[in-house]
Structure 1
Amino acid sequence: MPPESAESFAFKFIVSPVLVCVKAPLFVLLYLATYIAPKPAIKLAFSWLLGIKDIDLSVEGIRKTKTEEINRHKPQLNDVVIVNSISPLDVFILFVVSAVNSLRQIVVVVSSPDGLMRFSVWEYVSFMFSDLDSRFPKDNKLSSFKELEGKMVIFFPEGTSTNNKAILPFIQIPESFLSIPGFSYKTIVLRMYPNILTLPVPHMTKSQYIRKSLSQREKTFVKVRIVPNEKASLNASKVIFAENGLNTVQLGLKEKKDFFTFYRSYTVSKLTK
């Protein structure tokens, strides 16, 4: 392994801790502010603390200059948005570009081998850092579609996050979920450049992720593309993801667990040598 440069050493042990110490109090204040004014607080956290300077929102078939028309297609109550998962920030990005005003108006639904799982926004953030073998608690199983009424539903069909370059095979779901009476459906493609804030595997804790995010210096660009679905289906969403540069890789949830187990064992062995 090549020796660490003086610049990277200085950033890791001097600049990074200073950035975290300076930003941490503001992070706590903005976190508390999400209970009063969530959208402004999250926008400030994105721009001031996490380096997310631009969220590029577009709707397929609509010019960006047609602001009013784009606004009409923003995710809202009684919408199900089918979206790829790339980071713990996904739900907050979708909230910021949506027409809803409260995080309590959002329900996150995730595919699992045991059925559909239902989470609040904050529960989903914790879910992203949970162990791959025990991340689908039975208490979170979606028992009735009535639980979704009057909510904006964010649906992650992969059941896990990816590397921002592809999607994993979708887990089979009840067809009735894609035709709930009174709901509209959209597919949303999320991309993040560069990959600094993505989390393809839960290889760090929530606090480690926060420290890493607060200390990063690069600016992050997020792209959100909305594609309205006349008739929702997982196959239609796969085509949309592929057309936007996210092809399906044959790495299911089980294979990802096996890979992460190997990765974790390899990392531990390197540290103990």
Structure 2
Amino acid sequence: MEKYSQFRDRGSGIAPFFPVTSTPAGIYLPVHIFLFLFKLPFFVTVATTYFLFLQWFPLGSLPKKAILWMMLGIPGIWWIDLQIDGVKKGSLAKKHEGRVPQPSNVIASSFTSPIDSLYLAAIFDPIFTVSYPHTRQIQEISLFGAILRALLRPQEHPPKGAKMTDLKDLLAEHPQRVIVVFPECTTTNGKGILPFSPSLLTTPPGTKIFPVNLRYSPPDVTTPVPGLYFSFIWNLLSRPTHCIRVRIAEVVYNTSKPTDPVAEKKERYLTNFLDTLGEDSAMTSSTDTLASLSDQPAEVNAEEKRILDKVGEALARLGRVKRVGLTVKDKAAFIDAWSKRKR
């Protein structure tokens, strides 16, 4: 692994992109094979029936959640531990108001596995979104799209023709739904929190943002490396049970005052233009700068960075991990290096 040292965080040495090695089955391999072959037909039948047919019918929230819980139950995924900041164990029923996500709230979730989306859908029936590192806008996707995205290669930029919006408009369009954001933009192995997309900064000031961290035991159902479909299904179905530990932090509000990078650059353009009046080369350069304003990523000011840091620190504390400096671009480079090693 020494040759992959560039994909370790410099400060902590954490490698968030390495796949988690499964514990060898040993003498229990026949049991694992039996469990896999026994569960696979049930899981495939329920999943295909729901995603191909039932999700398009107006069944209502409760029947859909029941089917999703069935999908979680077949592999033996159990929700064994829930901790909420500010709520003692056993007192959630008395003090749940404002402590758990409700309609018109935003969930900023960790992103490690396809199970993340399935679990959140079974609990909150939310709308899922995709965030990108260089834009504040988000892309609305389906539950199946969110599950599949955890198994795909990360993308730095939205695909051509993608319908983009922001959290403010999406919340206004769906006031009775929870919105899920994966601000890290790509999956990790759960050992670190990546830098955030600025998409959370379009949340209205009065909207609650809930940092939510999901951890799995055993952790080999995480999918930091894309394309490992069979490995994920094998790890998911060949064991008797999997445990989910859910942590919900206190509410974070977007109290920042957003910058207007277009206005700032226009002002800089006018200043430079006046300072260099008569210089054709400078005028041409300034014109090119103004023409490319729409292609520039959203800038983040100090107050906005503080909000993103607050959510990131909450996710790191909930997961008992550290924040790292590796980005989506670093993960893409890691995937290329990892693929060459396999070949």
In structure 1, what is the equivalent of residue 106 of structure 2?
A: 80
Other structure's SS at 1:45 match: helix
Q: Deviations over 1:101-131 (max 9, x none)?
A: xx4x523242332443222222222322333
Report the alpha carbon displacement of residue 204 of structure 1 after superposing the two structures with TM. 2.2
Question: 1:242 aligned to 2:316?
Answer: yes
In structure 1, what is the equivalent of residue 298 of structure 2?
A: none
Aligned residue identity for 2:214: L
Other structure's SS at 1:186 match: strand
CA contact (8 A) 2:35 2:239 kept: no
Written as runs of structure 1 = structure 2, the 5 A alignment for 1:1-273 is 7=27, 10=30, 16-21=36-41, 23-29=43-49, 36=59, 37-47=63-73, 49-68=74-93, 69-70=95-96, 72-98=98-124, 103=125, 105-120=126-141, 121-133=143-155, 136-138=158-160, 139-142=162-165, 145-149=168-172, 150=175, 151-173=177-199, 175=201, 177-178=202-203, 180-205=204-229, 208=230, 211-212=233-234, 215-232=237-254, 233-244=307-318, 245-267=320-342, 269=343
Gaps of 5+ in 2: 1-23, 255-306
CA contact (8 A) 2:77 2:241 kept: yes
Tell me, in whole angstroms, the C-alpha distance in 1 between the residues paired with 2:68 and 2:98.
22
What TM-score comes out, normalization by structure 2 length?
0.64
RMSD: 3.0
- How many residues are paired up? 255
CA contact (8 A) 2:35 2:238 kept: no
Report the alpha carbon displacement of residue 153 of structure 1 after superposing the two structures with TM. 1.2
What TM-score comes out, normalization by structure 1 length?
0.79
Q: Deviations over 1:202-246 (max 9, x none)?
A: 1324xx367425532142111111112243421111221232312
Give 1 or 2: higher strand fraction.
1
Gaps of 5+ in 1: none
Tell me, in whole angstroms, the C-alpha distance in 1 between the residues paired with 2:234 and 2:337.
23
Tell me, in whole angstroms, the C-alpha distance in 2 between the residues paired with 1:28 and 1:40.
15
Aligned residue identity for 1:197: V
Tell me, in whole angstroms, the C-alpha distance in 2 between the residues paired with 1:52 and 1:213.
12
Q: Deviations over 1:138-192 (max 9, x none)?
A: 41422572223213111111110111121112234473x14x1552221112211
Other structure's SS at 1:228 match: coil
CA contact (8 A) 1:185 1:230 kept: yes
Tell me, in whole angstroms, the C-alpha distance in 2 between the residues paired with 1:6 and 1:224.
30
Tell me, in whole angstroms, the C-alpha distance in 1 between the residues paired with 2:88 and 2:132.
33
The verdict on how the C-alpha distance between 1:55 and 1:94 changes in structure 2, with shifts beyond 3 A counting, is farther
The farther-off stretch of 4-13 and 125-134 is 4-13
Tell me, in whole angstroms, the C-alpha distance in 2 between the residues paired with 1:9 and 1:97.
33
Q: Percent identity?
A: 20
Other structure's SS at 1:40 match: helix
